[in-house]
Amino acid sequence: MTDTGELTYRRVHDAPPELLFDCMTTPAHLTRFWGPTGTTTPLDGIVVDLRPGGAFETTMVNDSDGSTYTMRAVYVEVERPHRLVWVEAESHGGMRTTVTFTALRDGRTEVVTHQTNVPAAFRSAAARAGFQTSLDRFAAYLKILDEGGTT
How many other C-beta atoms are found inside a 10 Å radius of the C-beta of residue 84? 22
Query: Domain ranges in the chain?
Result: 4-143
Q: For every one of its 151 residues, what pLDDT tens digit does the chain have, with 9 covering 90 and above?
A: 457 799 999 999 999 999 999 999 999 999 999 999 999 999 999 999 999 999 999 999 999 999 999 999 999 999 999 999 999 987 667 999 999 999 998 999 999 999 999 988 889 999 999 999 999 999 999 999 988 765 4
Query: If phi over 0 gives left and psi between -120 and 50 gives alpha, with beta otherwise, what is residue 32?
Result: alpha
Residues whose CB falls within 8 Å of the CB of residue 24, separated by 6 or more in sequence, listed in order: 30, 84, 99
Check if the beta carbon of residue 115 is closer than 8 Å to that of residue 6: yes
Q: pTM for this structure?
A: 0.91
Residues whose CB falls within 8 Å of the CB of residue 53, separated by 6 or more in sequence, listed in order: 74, 75
Domain 4-143 class?
alpha beta
